[in-house]
Amino acid sequence: MAVAILVIMALGVALILSGKVPTAFALVLLSVGIALVAGAPLVGEEGSVLQTVLQDGSTRLASTMIAILIGSWLGSLMRDTAIASTLVRKTVEFAGDRPVVVALGVLVVSALVGTVTGSAPAALLAGVIGIPAMVAVGVPKVTAAGTILVGIGVGVPFELPVWQFFSSALDLSIAEVRSYMVFLFPFALVGALGFVLVEVRRRGTVHAWSLTSSTGRGSAPSRRERLGDAPWYSLLTPLVPIVLALGLTVPIIPSLLAGVLYAALTTTRPRDLATRLLRTLYDGFTVAAPPITLFVAIGMLLAAVNLPAAVDALTPVVEAVAPTNPWLYVLVFSLLVPLCLFRGPLNIFGLGAGVAGALTAVGTFSPLAVLGLMASYNQVLGVSDPTSTQTVWASQYAGTKPQQVMVRTLPYMWVVAVGGIATSAVLYL
């Protein structure tokens, strides 16, 4: 049975890598296949394909889906109220024409945006103004795109929907997830700073196209010019959920809702408040739909690999190959970092969720050790994966290729992942 489950997983990887079947659809097929091979009945109240895998599994990550929706709502509100664009523009104006300082400023803003929402929306919020501004002062295109991405990576350890995802997927408390993310953050920060300081200086300045032409000045007024700058106190919006969740241990969803209310109340007249909130909420649904669909499928996959028969079948295989020695744990899983790229088997938002679920269910590693692995891989995935939406958007907007951004950022992100994995070994093995 174990061999059959592994074969099905391999077929799932092939389907995802082929690009012919959407990842979410492939994960649903994979979930049903694993359940059937594990001997789960098609119907029944407990342990069946229809009830346990498809019905219960689809809602397993419901709290994560709500957190993603509210995070997308907050990101849409920051765009609609010009909070994001004001943050970037003020930072660039303060930095002047110094390439390293401009890049570091955009890095900070990208990190703040990354705590609110991930993927392409975060790249767009920080990059629409940030990338042209960097290129205008001579930062090379690949470095400009990479700066946006590594900046978002700095914010990911404090991205509240990510906390909720790992909490639900690995049956951990928010406090346990938060405690590890605090340890991971310094590695993400040092890796990002290293990228900016080394790459901007090493590559020199290249004046390719101007900020004037990219931001629309001299033609039709930009959205920012029509709206005006957001009030200075509204620029604290990204910090509101972080302070509540990290400093005051407020639950994830109320923290995000507080950020939404703060952004709306500090930028919008009372008579326009309801209209703006509804409009941005609808926009948030559009942004959140793809990841929510993916999390429905991931929940089904987690339910399938946690079926008792699947756990019993996989236990001897995992125990035979899993490196339990701390040194081997760090060495082996550090060498496997590239498997989280190109929708590979360690992509936590794909088959990697099933791998994480299997490792946790079998019990070879504690859920916290699995969290350390997958959160570390997520740092690489979110920055360097040339198939991820944020990498594709940032690269294309900067006028370069995702593969070039991957080559430039991967060495730094690999070091971040190794630091996270080593920390996990020290803390949890």
pLDDT digits (tens, 9 = 90+) for 116-136: 877 777 888 888 888 998 988
pLDDT digits (tens, 9 = 90+) for 9-27: 888 888 887 778 888 898 9
What's this model's pTM, rounded to 2 decimal places?
A: 0.88
Q: Is 213 contained in some domain? A: no
pLDDT digits (tens, 9 = 90+) for 63-110: 999 999 999 999 999 999 999 889 888 888 887 778 899 999 999 999
pLDDT digits (tens, 9 = 90+) for 170-182: 999 999 999 999 9
pLDDT the model gives residue 217: 37
Q: Is 95 contained in some domain? A: yes
pLDDT digits (tens, 9 = 90+) for 326-367: 999 999 999 999 998 887 888 888 888 888 888 888 888 899
Domain count, the chain: 1
Q: Is 405 contained in some domain? A: yes
pLDDT the model gives residue 201: 83
SS3 of the chain: CHHHHHHHHHHHHHHHHHCCCCHHHHHHHHHHHHHHHCCCCCCCCCCCHHHHHHHHHHCCCHHHHHHHHHHHHHHHHHHHCCHHHHHHHHHHHHHCCCHHHHHHHHHHHHHHHHHHCCHHHHHHHHHHHHHHHHHHCCCCHHHHHHHHHHHHHHHHHHCHHHHHHHHHHHCCCHHHHHHHHHHHHHHHHHHHHHHHHHHHHHHCCCCCCCHHHHCCCCCCCCHHHHHCCCCHHHHHCCHHHHHHHHHCCCCHHHHHHHHHHHHHHCCCCHHHHHHHHHHHHHHHHHHHHHHHHHHHHHHHHHHHHCCHHHHHHHHHHHHHHCCCCHHHHHHHHHHCHHHHCCCCCCCCCCHHHHHHHHHHHHCCCCHHHHHHHHHHHHHHHHHHCCCCHHHHHHHHHHCCCHHHHHHHHHHHHHHHHHHHHHHHHHHHC
Taking residues 212-224, report their average pLDDT.
41
Q: Is 209 contained in some domain? A: no
Q: Is 223 contained in some domain? A: no
pLDDT the model gives residue 206: 63
Domain that holds residue 242: 1-203+230-428
Give the residue, 254 or 203, on which the prediction is more confident: 254
Q: Is 362 contained in some domain? A: yes
